[in-house]
Copies of this chain bind each other. A is one copy, B any other.
């Protein structure tokens, strides 16, 4: 549903609420997708929302609940009767239940756990024990398992019996009595073979899997790289304990990207949506990097104070341009390399290829910019703005710009690779840190070239 439709629908619901026409509201809501119902409910006041939520049928109610934000979920749980709580959580898939439990305060968790049966409780505890961001913590334990001696007919009987409770049934995992993963068979393959074929004859035995402790970023890379719809999660003894499905990793990929982008802008990443973050948490995510960068600016002032005697106002006036262009040139290189590392287009072994490429590009870029700078000083600054940059000064400034850009590109491409070699996150060094380094380096180059050529 588009934003405009959604807003019109909210208006309609609100006016129906005033008329107490719950029947009509019910009819409207139960035709929507859970993602849209969730957005809609969140626009209602705290008083209006729970009664409207109760109008949803059981399945849509649970699906909508999963899509809501943490605050609204907590609010609803607090107004739910025990029976309502049980109804919602019974309908949910286990991975969603665990996600919600992880976000709730202890007393709410207690109430939720109390409403689940012993078997579910055990499965929840199993998933909760895995470290945050591991494959184990994002997997679902509801998958279809088959035995290798079963026939296609037996498989279908089995699938028919248990499909309702499984998030995905299209990938079926073949295991032995000890739950060790032997192979995989898809519903498509089952459909394409006769009822009497056994699983063993058609299963694929080269199965990609991840371990419970693998990072969720690795899991999503595997799924994306091999175009999988789900990947099995196994323990150290190769026993299958769950699966991660492609829809779960879409969220992981989005989160990881947001994190990388935040780091490139010198922000400590957060998984909370921007509008829901408190002023205090935004403040905390931004201030450390700004402080570090502020203090590192001491180096630039040291350089300027050092060369103070020899730099005229005309020469000072070019400093922001030199530093700014150097910074921009460096971020182009560093951001490109960081992104290429993130999507595995390049790796550490490519360091020489990358350097050689950036050196050639930087010479081209620096040549054009140095000529443009020379022209700008002689034409714009002298003729239009009435300054008097001599030929000699303009040449010195342009030469310093050339040197700054070549160096900036080189530092820019090397820093993310060096970070990776030191097992640091390339995104953290990608932009503001490099700019600060380039600020100092470009000042030193500038002062030395200008002084060398002019004095």
**7 residue pairs bridging A and B, Cβ less than 8 Å apart:** A156-B191, A253-B254, A258-B339, A280-B364, A295-B372, A298-B385, A305-B387
On whether the beta carbons of A361 and B301 are closer than 8 Å, the reply is: no
| Size category of the binding interface on chain A | 35 or more
On whether the beta carbons of A369 and B305 are closer than 8 Å, the reply is: no
Task: Give A167 Cβ to nearest chain B Cβ, in Å.
Answer: 10
> Nearest residue in B to A291 (C-beta to C-beta)?
B372
Tell me which of A11-19, A115-123, A346-354 binds B: A346-354
For residue A253, which residues in chain B have a CB less than 8 angstroms away from its CB?
250, 253-254
On whether the beta carbons of A283 and B376 are closer than 8 Å, the reply is: no
Q: How far is the CA of A158 from the CA of B206 in the complex (A)?
A: 30
A33-73 vs B, Cβ < 8 Å mask (1 yes, 0 no): 10100000000000000000000000000000000000000
On whether the beta carbons of B229 and A350 are closer than 8 Å, the reply is: no
A406 at the interface (CB under 8 A from B): no
A137 at the interface (CB under 8 A from B): no
On whether the beta carbons of A320 and B346 are closer than 8 Å, the reply is: no
A321 at the interface (CB under 8 A from B): yes
Q: How far is the CA of A328 from the CA of B410 in the complex (A)?
A: 22
Q: How far is the CA of A343 from the CA of B261 in the complex (A)?
A: 12
Copies of this protein, total: 2
Chain A positions 313-358 with a Cβ under 8 Å from a chain B Cβ: 313-314, 316-321, 323-325, 327-329, 331-332, 334-337, 339-340, 343, 345-347, 350, 353-354, 357
On whether the beta carbons of A290 and B369 are closer than 8 Å, the reply is: yes
For residue A160, which residues in chain B have a CB less than 8 angstroms away from its CB?
191-192
On whether the beta carbons of A294 and B325 are closer than 8 Å, the reply is: yes
Chain A positions 203-233 with a Cβ under 8 Å from a chain B Cβ: 206, 208, 224-227, 229
Given A372-B295, A432-B331, verify A365-B317 contact (CB < 8 Å): no
A8 at the interface (CB under 8 A from B): no
Task: Give A266 Cβ to nearest chain B Cβ, in Å.
Answer: 6
Q: How far is the CA of A308 from the CA of B315 in the complex (A)?
A: 11
For residue A156, which residues in chain B have a CB less than 8 angstroms away from its CB?
191
Task: Give A215 Cβ to nearest chain B Cβ, in Å.
Answer: 14
Task: Give A450 Cβ to nearest chain B Cβ, in Å.
Answer: 15
Q: Which residue of the partner chain, among B250, B257, B313, B361, contacts A283 with CB atoms under 8 Å?
A: B361
